[in-house]
């Protein structure tokens, strides 16, 4: 938590803000890079104005966490190829987008000269939004979320998906290292979706989410982040923990980093808002500064 707060302070100084109002802009650190940002919609920041470059279907924001990190670091060469709905397969193969367009393989942005890589991926491999949707339906019918993902042999299907996503991430990290051998690689985890006390989601989620279902979903989100962290360590990469308590989708509008199923106007449900992207940037910056 201390590292995240340190990163937030640095980010505030960069934008000329302080607790008492506008202040002097901090001296930028030495230029580093080239920096390449890879990832899915939690990285790209769909719906967060102003829009950034790239294919419209990727939903890249000009103020997503990679852009904020690049600005803070003073990176001269920054390439953001993150894209909504991306899976690990879209890192090595072209990604089909709505309207018949496509995005090139994200790892094609890497080169022997790349010095910094951030990667936020895995949720779509698990189908986490589908899991959330099915749990919502289970809440409406009263059938319970956990049982809907129990296989015939008694194992949990989501746990199996997480293990598979981890294997795929391991392969992606190996290929990243092959293409960018000089790069420092950071695997960025997912922010906390739900509060420590699942009962706190009653107002935001209503009857579609029983307390037991929220507990199940929280456990699976933590399980995914643990797998990402394990795979990062095995590949010699660093893991960035962005799951800061108190900023989940059930928190107050001025506190939350994740939008609820019925989000603020223009934003994407169950995705980071602008504050969430700033929080994720702070976590990345803090990890970059850690020895």
> Rounded to the nearest 10 degrees, what angle do helices 65-73 and 2-14 cross at?
70
Each residue's pLDDT tens digit, 216-275: 899 999 999 999 999 999 999 999 999 999 999 999 999 999 999 889 999 999 999 999
What CA–CA distance (Å, rounded) separates 144 from 45?
A: 31
Which amino acids are annotated catalytic?
41, 271
Largest pairwise CA distance in the chain: 62
- Tokens standing for residue 252: 């107050």
Instruction: Centre a 10 Å sphere on the Cβ of residue 31 and count the other Cβ atoms it contains.
Output: 10
- Domain membership of residue 112 as a residue range: 2-289
Each residue's pLDDT tens digit, 65-122: 999 999 999 998 999 999 999 999 999 999 999 888 999 999 999 999 999 999 999 9
Entry pTM: 0.87
Q: In the chain, which ranges are E strands? A: 17-18, 21-22, 35-39, 78-80, 95-96, 102-103, 116-120, 184-188, 238-240
What CA–CA distance (Å, rounded) separates 262 from 162?
A: 27
Number of structural domains the chain divides into: 1
What CA–CA distance (Å, rounded) separates 93 from 102?
A: 10
Mean pLDDT within 170-181: 98
What is the CATH classification number for the domain harbouring 194? 3.40.50.1110
Cα 148 to chain centroid, rounded: 26
Each residue's pLDDT tens digit, 191-222: 999 988 877 786 667 555 677 888 889 999 99
Each residue's pLDDT tens digit, 124-166: 999 988 888 888 777 655 557 888 888 889 899 999 999 999 9
What CA–CA distance (Å, rounded) separates 53 from 39?
A: 15
């Amino acid at each position: 938590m201390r590292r995240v707060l340190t990163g937030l302070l640095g980010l505030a100084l960069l934008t000329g803000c302080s607790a008492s109002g506008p202040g002097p802009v901090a001296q930028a650190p030495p230029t580093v890079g080239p920096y390449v940002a890879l990832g899915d919609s939690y990285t790209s920041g769909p719906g967060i104005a102003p829009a950034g470059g790239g294919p419209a279907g990727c939903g890249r924001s000009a103020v997503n966490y990679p852009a904020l990190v690049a600005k803070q670091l003073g990176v001269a060469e920054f390439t953001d190829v993150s894209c909504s709905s991306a899976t690990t397969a879209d890192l090595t193969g072209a990604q089909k987008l709505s309207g018949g367009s496509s995005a090139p393989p994200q790892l094609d942005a890497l080169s022997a000269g790349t010095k910094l890589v951030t990667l936020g991926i895995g949720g779509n491999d698990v189908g986490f939004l589908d899991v959330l949707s099915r749990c919502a339906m289970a809440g409406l019918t009263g059938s319970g979320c956990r049982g809907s993902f129990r296989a015939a042999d008694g194992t949990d299907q989501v746990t199996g998906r997480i293990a598979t996503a981890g294997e795929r991430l391991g392969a992606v990290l190996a290929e990243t290292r092959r293409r960018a051998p000089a790069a420092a690689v950071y695997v960025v985890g997912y922010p906390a979706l739900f509060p420590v006390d699942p009962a706190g989601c009653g107002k935001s989620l209503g009857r579609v989410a029983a307390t037991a279902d929220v507990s199940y979903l929280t456990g699976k989100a933590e399980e995914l982040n643990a797998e990402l962290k394990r795979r990062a360590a095995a590949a010699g990469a660093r893991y960035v923990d962005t799951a800061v308590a108190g900023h989940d989708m059930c928190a107050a509008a001025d506190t939350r980093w994740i939008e609820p199923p019925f989000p603020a106007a223009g934003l994407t449900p169950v995705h980071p808002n602008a504050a969430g992207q700033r929080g994720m940037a702070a976590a990345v910056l803090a990890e970059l500064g850690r020895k």
